[in-house]
Amino acid sequence: MSGVNSTRANALDATDPLAGFRDRFQLREGLIYLDGNSLGVMPKRAAERMVEAVTAEWAEGLITSWLGADWVNAPRRVGDKIAGLLGAEPGEVIAADSTSVNIFKALTAALSLNPGRGTILTETTNFPTDHYMMQGVAGFSGGTVRAKGVEPEALVDAIDDDVAVVLLTQVHYKSGLIRDMAAVTAQAQAKGALVVWDLSHSAGAIPVDLNGANADFAVGCGYKFLNGGPGAPAFLFAARRHHAAARPVLSGWFGHAAPFAFEEGYRAAPGIERFLCGTPPVLGLTALECGVAIMAEADMAQLREKSVALSELFIAEMDERCSDLGFVLISPRDPALRGSQVSYTHPEGYAIVQALKDRDVTGDFRAPDVLRFGLTPLYLRYRDVIDAVAAIHEVVTSGDWDKPEYRQRAAVT
């Protein structure tokens, strides 16, 4: 064990201004959970609220709860809270649907704002669902829209006068590389394109300033760093300047200007509500609201500072203990360019991640060979990082990873 880093970890824990947040989450004793970037830990408050929501609001209140428990405004209410985390104003974010569906909504809205252009551009290494949704829009367009992926370095140069919208993930899901949102947005807009930012690994993970970057649209997950629970509703941001002209393609009744007027013709709601489609998932929103509320209590500058310190410690400890074990760091070494995760490649990455689970260290694996460790400052201790790297060292040096059951690929990784 590295004495220096271990001593430093204890000292950092002792003076950690965010240490008090850990007790707000339900975390089994002994578990080192480095997967909050995939499914965040449950806030204790969420369990209480869910019981209340199903017993008092659903079972007792039944249909009166749409007004009595304010179910009807939940997408907007939770969206306003998320807006506060992202440098957006109240009324610019709505909590709804999945990230994939919101990508579809944002892309089609952007296309409607940029008539005469027909290309949706992204980088080849973007998260698969981003590609798939682009391909779906293109396929449905009857040839008027094209989905195009280019190498990350070539992205800005590839914005030509046919590119209507660029879809980019701010923090790369594998490497954790942070894209400069303000710079890329300005470059794209200068070339006449709009940008949709995927904030799945940004929201609740790094400071985000959507309006400071003059962003057009953004989407992101509720179940990752926002701790909203499995399958939590996602969110969609649309800059206020786009509300009136952005035409919803998923023009469901909850996005209508007067849903309960039951008019035959669709009229889009004037504000962010036009990006709603159908009846909101109230129970999912109830859980998500608890996660978002905790995040809103935390100081984002402190959160970022701890996130950087956790990842610096992780990398220092890996350098010291595991440098000759086949791991290659694929996250940026410069902390300014790194989100709240560290990722390595290793030829036996899959089996190592499985073996770590048996030692109560949860990370995740992304094909073909990436081990990802999410660092969530609200419930992780510096001590946990030291113990996690000790487990990685042990799993590899003992040969423990090399068992048939660890090589057996599961349906979900």
Ligand X SMILES: *Cc1c(COP(=O)(O)O)cnc(C)c1O
Q: Which residues are catalytic?
A: 127, 198, 223-224, 372
As measured in angstroms, the least distance from the Cβ of 75 to ligand X is 16
As measured in angstroms, the least distance from the Cβ of 127 to ligand X is 3
Out of 96, 106, 234, 310, the only residue in the binding site for ligand X (CB under 6 A) is 234
189 phi/psi in degrees, rounded to 5 = -65, -35
Out of 6, 114, 125, 129, the only residue in the binding site for ligand X (CB under 6 A) is 129
As measured in angstroms, the least distance from the Cβ of 102 to ligand X is 8
Kind and range of the H or E element at 364? strand 364-366
Provide the Cα torsion 207, 210, 215, 217; round to 10°.
100
Q: Contact 276/94 with Cβ under 8 angstroms? A: yes
Closest to 266 in 3D by CA, of 248, 280, 279: 248
Residues 198 to 227 in contact with ligand X, rule: CB under 6 A: 198, 200-201, 221
Closest to 296 in 3D by CA, of 99, 71, 15, 24: 24
As measured in angstroms, the least distance from the Cβ of 64 to ligand X is 31
As measured in angstroms, the least distance from the Cβ of 6 to ligand X is 32
Nearer to ligand X, 201 or 243 (CB): 201
Strands (E), 200-290: 217-220, 234-238
Nearer to ligand X, 131 or 381 (CB): 131
Nearer to ligand X, 90 or 230 (CB): 230
Nearer to ligand X, 225 or 406 (CB): 225
Nearer to ligand X, 225 or 382 (CB): 225
Closest to 341 in 3D by CA, of 389, 373, 387, 383: 373
Q: Contact 244/109 with Cβ under 8 angstroms? A: no
As measured in angstroms, the least distance from the Cβ of 11 to ligand X is 34
| Max CA distance (Å), the chain | 71
Binding map of ligand X across residues 153-182, x = CB under 6 A, - = no contact: ----------------x---x---------
> Exposed/middle/buried for 412, CB within 10 Å: 0-12, 13-18, 19+?
exposed
Q: Which residues pair with 304 in a beta bridge?
A: none
Binding status of residue 98 toward ligand X by CB under 6 A? yes
The interface region with ligand X, picked from 109-117, 126-134, 325-333, 348-356 by CB under 6 A, is 126-134
Out of 21, 127, 373, 379, the only residue in the binding site for ligand X (CB under 6 A) is 127
Out of 65, 99, 343, 376, the only residue in the binding site for ligand X (CB under 6 A) is 99
Q: Does residue 377 have a cis bond before it (omega within 30 degrees)?
A: no
Burial string for 44-58 (b: 16+ CB within 10 Å, else e) reads ebbeebbeebeeebb
Nearer to ligand X, 221 or 390 (CB): 221
Where does this chain bind ligand X (CB under 6 A)?
Answer: 98-100, 127, 129-130, 169, 173, 198, 200-201, 221, 234
